[in-house]
């Protein structure tokens, strides 16, 4: 599903895409110069520290400050969950959240927004059916981001409590920062991918219920080496404590019958499509390229869930 926008309606649409984000905001623009309005919108959209802001800029590999001012770069670096990336051949402009995207001629540049004649197309995720333009768009830019140069990576730090059922924000941790000396032509430069960095940092302050139960459980004696080898995969399944939400890659208890986080489950249950394509493998957290679903949450596995429309997240 797509619609065409231009003028003030295009500016309003891009702001709305940011504000409707629940898990991530993706900004793809070779040039960045924010006005106060866009800063206010992004501040509001990222009040939840779980929202991952991904900024992809391009051109001017000899001086990134020609693509983004130091003031705007420092502004983005102030966000708790931020990835700033660089692609030297970037010319596309796109603004996305997890459910919708705007492909447009407009850089996120105040002059462009206020003076140029710009146009854009609004793409939306279609919940019924697996093939639509938004998925193609999201998948393409996700791959570009994975292959781009990391300039700055910062993640929120959370402390878990109540056996992992709740968490408190505990500050930020900068994992990568080469903003002052980024230079692709330097012979000593080594490219770093966004996949090298973990999701929000979690500090466990209490033992989980699963860990306590495992400590109390007496190990089973295996009758033979042969049986141990045959049952190796089963043992691994039994002892894996954490898995990943197949929609958001949030770390959750490992349970193939319940492979979505609380928020993602309540999004899914509105449509109850067991075969709707998801993003990640529940077991490994790897990008599944839309090969996983509620029915098949584990990549390259025979495991399948039956229809569980009446299930309750817990």
Q: How far apart are CA 256 and CA 296, in angstroms?
A: 9
For domain 2-203, the CATH class is alpha beta
The pLDDT score that the predictor gives to residue 226 is 44
Are the C-beta atoms of residues 256 and 240 closer than 8 Å to each other? no
pLDDT exceeds 80 at position 222: no
Residue 206 has pLDDT above 60, yes or no: no
pLDDT at residue 239, rounded to an integer: 67
- Tokens linked to 272: 């109850």
Whether the model clears a pTM of 0.75, i.e. scores above it, the answer is no
Question: What is the average per-residue pLDDT within 202-231?
Answer: 48
Reference 150, options 90, 197, 74, 86; nearest CA is: 86
Residue 197 contacts by C-beta under 8 Å, 6 or more apart in sequence? 83, 150, 153, 155, 175, 176
More confident position, 203 or 86: 86
Q: What is the mean pLDDT of residues 81-88?
A: 94
Of 50, 60, 30, nearest to 98 by C-alpha is: 50
- Residue 211 sits at φ, ψ, to 5 deg, of -65, -45
pLDDT confidence tier of residue 233, bands split at 50, 70 and 90: very low
Distance separating alpha carbons of residues 32 and 36, to the nearest angstrom: 13
CB within 8 A of 298, min separation 6: which ones? 256, 281, 282, 283, 292
Q: Are strands 149-161 and 201-204 parallel, antiparallel or unpaired?
A: parallel
H or E stretch at 203: strand 201-204
pLDDT digit string, tens, across residues 33-75: 999 999 999 999 999 988 999 999 987 666 788 889 999 999 9
pLDDT digits (tens, 9 = 90+) for 102-151: 999 998 887 666 778 999 999 998 766 555 789 899 999 999 999 999 99
pLDDT > 90? residue 160: no
CATH 3.30.870.10 segments of the chain: 2-203
Q: What integer is the mean pLDDT of 229-242? A: 55
- CA–CA distance, 243 with 201 (Å, rounded to integer): 15
Q: Exposed/middle/buried for 149, CB within 10 Å: 0-12, 13-18, 19+?
A: buried
- CA dihedral for 37, 43, 46, 47, sign (positive or negative): negative
- CA atoms of 15 and 3, how far apart (whole Å): 16
| Residues belonging to the chain | 314
């Amino acid at each position: 599903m797509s619609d065409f926008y231009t003028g003030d309606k295009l500016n309003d649409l891009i702001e709305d895409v940011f504000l409707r984000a629940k898990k991530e905001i993706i900004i793809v623009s070779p040039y960045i110069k924010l006005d106060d309005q866009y800063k206010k919108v992004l501040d509001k959209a990222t009040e939840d520290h779980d929202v991952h802001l991904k900024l992809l800029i391009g051109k001017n590999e000899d001086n990134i400050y020609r693509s983004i001012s130091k003031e705007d770069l420092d502004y983005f670096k102030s966000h708790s969950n931020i990835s700033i990336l660089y692609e030297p051949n970037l010319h596309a402009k796109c603004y996305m959240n997890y459910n919708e995207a705007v492909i447009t001629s407009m850089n996120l540049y105040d002059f462009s927004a206020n003076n140029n004649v710009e146009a854009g197309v609004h793409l939306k995720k279609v919940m019924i059916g697996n093939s639509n333009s938004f998925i193609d768009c999201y998948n393409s830019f996700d791959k570009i981001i994975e292959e781009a140069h990391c300039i700055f990576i910062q993640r929120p730090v959370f402390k878990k409590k109540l056996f992992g059922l709740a968490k408190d924000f505990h500050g930020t941790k900068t994992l990568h920062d080469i903003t002052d000396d980024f230079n692709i032509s330097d012979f000593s430069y080594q490219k770093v991918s966004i996949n090298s960095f973990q999701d929000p940092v979690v500090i466990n302050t209490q033992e989980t219920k699963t860990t306590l139960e495992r400590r109390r459980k007496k190990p089973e004696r295996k009758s033979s080496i042969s049986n141990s080898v045959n049952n190796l995969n089963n043992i691994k399944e039994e002892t894996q404590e954490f898995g990943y939400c197949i929609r958001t890659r949030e770390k959750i208890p490992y349970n193939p019958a319940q492979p979505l986080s609380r928020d993602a489950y309540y999004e899914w249950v509105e449509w109850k499509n067991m075969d709707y394509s998801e993003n990640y493998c529940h077991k490994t957290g790897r990008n599944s390229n839309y090969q996983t679903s509620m029915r098949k949450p584990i990549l390259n596995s025979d495991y399948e869930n039956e229809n569980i429309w009446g299930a309750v997240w817990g």
